[in-house]
Amino acid sequence: MDLIQSLETADIQPLSLSVPVPPTLRDGECYHVFISYSSTDYQWTHCLIDQLEACGLQVCYHDRDFLPGRTVLENMSDCIQESQKVLLVLSPEFVRSRWCLLEANMSLFRDCLERKPIVPVLLEPGVSVPLHLCHLTYLEANDPNFKNKLLKVLCTPNQQLQGSTVLPFHPPSIYNGKALQPLIAVNEERLNKWDCGQFSDMEVPDQLRLIIEDQEQYRKAVRMINSVSENKVLPFWAAVMMFISVGIILLPLFALSTYMIVIFFGDESLKNKTLWAFIFCSLYCLFFGTLTQLCLWGKDQGKHIVREMQKALGQANIILSEEKVLMGSQSNSKIYLVYVSLDRCKHEFAETFSDQVCAEDLYQRALLHFSSGYACCLAKRHFPFPQPSSTGHLEGGVCFCQYVSQQLSVDQWE
């Protein structure tokens, strides 16, 4: 059934006599809820607004309540400030719209400062929830009981929402290891396994623009990774020439040695035949030996490049960790990015080691050697060891401290 039809029929039925009473507006509050939505969802949203206002709720939305002559940012800030709650109508268009993402970001900023509840409404199944809202419990518009759940939340005073079973109210925790869009090498189509991928440092991905304050730091980190191809990669033609050169140098030495052995120990009449047979066998061995060595070189060089990329990623993560971003890679053409705060793990290093200089040095070394693997595990939601029994610093997952401890224990036993 179409969402508009379901809202006009099943979801938006006249309320019974047991409609919750809207909470009292306090000083500085003019609205019960500020609704942020995309213009493409105008019909659905305004149908909902009419029903909410019919229940006595004071609703704020931009088409009607933004003051002319003021900037959009000023209007959004004031309307969110003057509202008890923020309702976000999440649809594909909402997620694509930067203005809507900015509204979501601003409301989360208010939430962090004043514990203002945010109510995300998932308009369609499968909508990709924006990064800044992933930690919130959302309501689904196609839920048969959607209207009653929404009214219960909107009519519950903010101070009572902490115990609500409809919309659990948690302190904001957006740094929970959320995977971001991966970076794909621009030369991926023609990239050999023994080459390092080249990644664009011109455009900062849209997801990161909402997170990284100093975007030059991101570009600096990408340039560190791109430098691997300049300093650590041996070109294929150079490897071929190296093996052939070695063979050309050794072949005359082998031929001369054989010739001397034949003269000293063998029949002199056989020396020419023996010499030519040896040269033929040497060339045969040189050809297949070079081919074998190149195959082994390609395999080893592929692993070498990934290792060098991971080292470069560790250096990049020393910079990006301050922006709550980590990078990781297990191949030469793809980089995973995750959004995670290491502040509590860094504090754990400082508490564990009394010498602050030593603690900072160990933390930097941990980032250098382990941050790439940790980012990959977070991005893929898989760790190569059982979930630790103790609670770490990452809500619902393995924190950096636990990962480093586990990796060190494995390395020690190996």
Question: Which of the listed residues 174, 194, 218 is the one where a domain comes to its end?
Answer: 174
Evaluate whether residue 270 is within a structural domain.
no
Nearest to 172 by CA among 81, 120, 80, 108: 108
Q: What is the pLDDT of residue 242?
A: 60
CB crowding 315-339: b at 16 or more within 10 Å, else e: bbbbbbbebbbbbbbebbbbbbbbb
Co-location of 92 and 167 in the same domain:
yes
- Measure Cα distances from 324 to 131, 208, 321 in Å: 13, 10, 5
H/E stretch holding 183 reads strand 183-184
- Measure Cα distances from 85 to 25, 109, 119, 130 in Å: 11, 13, 7, 18
> Burial level of 232, CB count in 10 A (0-12/13-18/19+)?
middle
Token couple for 364: 């930097």
User: Could you give the CA distance from residue 368 to residue 402 in angstroms, rounded to a whole number?
Assistant: 16
Q: What is the pLDDT of residue 281?
A: 61
Co-location of 21 and 135 in the same domain:
yes
Co-location of 170 and 193 in the same domain:
no
Are 345 and 395 in contact, with CB atoms under 8 Å apart?
Answer: no
Co-location of 155 and 203 in the same domain:
no
Q: How many CA atoms lie within 13 A of 278 on its CB side?
A: 19
Co-location of 64 and 202 in the same domain:
no
Evaluate whether residue 148 is within a structural domain.
yes
Structural domain containing residue 362:
178-233+301-413
Nearest to 321 by CA among 211, 232, 413: 211
Co-location of 40 and 166 in the same domain:
yes
What are residue 119's DSSP bridge partners? 87
Q: What's the number of domains the chain is made of?
A: 2
Co-location of 135 and 65 in the same domain:
yes
Evaluate whether residue 42 is within a structural domain.
yes
- Measure Cα distances from 194 to 261, 294, 301, 322 in Å: 42, 11, 5, 32
Q: What is the pLDDT of residue 245?
A: 63
Are 140 and 98 in contact, with CB atoms under 8 Å apart?
Answer: no
* Tally of CB atoms within 10 A around 24: 9
Question: Which of the listed residues 159, 174, 189 is the one where a domain comes to its end?
Answer: 174
Question: Which of the listed residues 137, 159, 174 is the one where a domain comes to its end?
Answer: 174
* Tally of CB atoms within 10 A around 222: 22
* Tally of CB atoms within 10 A around 287: 12
Evaluate whether residue 115 is within a structural domain.
yes
Say which residues have a Cβ less than 8 Å from residue 228's Cβ, sequence separation at least 6. Answer: 196, 305, 308, 309, 312
Nearest to 132 by CA among 161, 98, 163: 98
Evaluate whether residue 404 is within a structural domain.
yes
Mean pLDDT, 10 residues at a time, the chain of 414 residues: 38 51 88 92 94 93 90 82 90 77 62 70 80 73 90 85 48 62 85 80 72 84 86 56 60 60 56 58 59 56 82 93 90 89 87 74 91 92 84 82 87 46
Co-location of 162 and 187 in the same domain:
no
Q: What is the pLDDT of residue 320?
A: 92
Whether the model pTM is above 0.75: no
Say which residues have a Cβ less than 8 Å from residue 208's Cβ, sequence separation at least 6. Answer: 180, 215, 218, 325, 337
3-state secondary structure of 207: helix
Co-location of 380 and 395 in the same domain:
yes
Are 257 and 251 in contact, with CB atoms under 8 Å apart?
Answer: no
Evaluate whether residue 247 is within a structural domain.
no
Co-location of 182 and 169 in the same domain:
no
Co-location of 362 and 215 in the same domain:
yes
Co-location of 170 and 195 in the same domain:
no
Evaluate whether residue 374 is within a structural domain.
yes
Evaluate whether residue 293 is within a structural domain.
no
User: Could you give the CA distance from residue 134 to residue 173 in angstroms, rounded to a whole number?
Assistant: 9
Domain holding 150: CATH number?
Answer: 3.40.50.10140
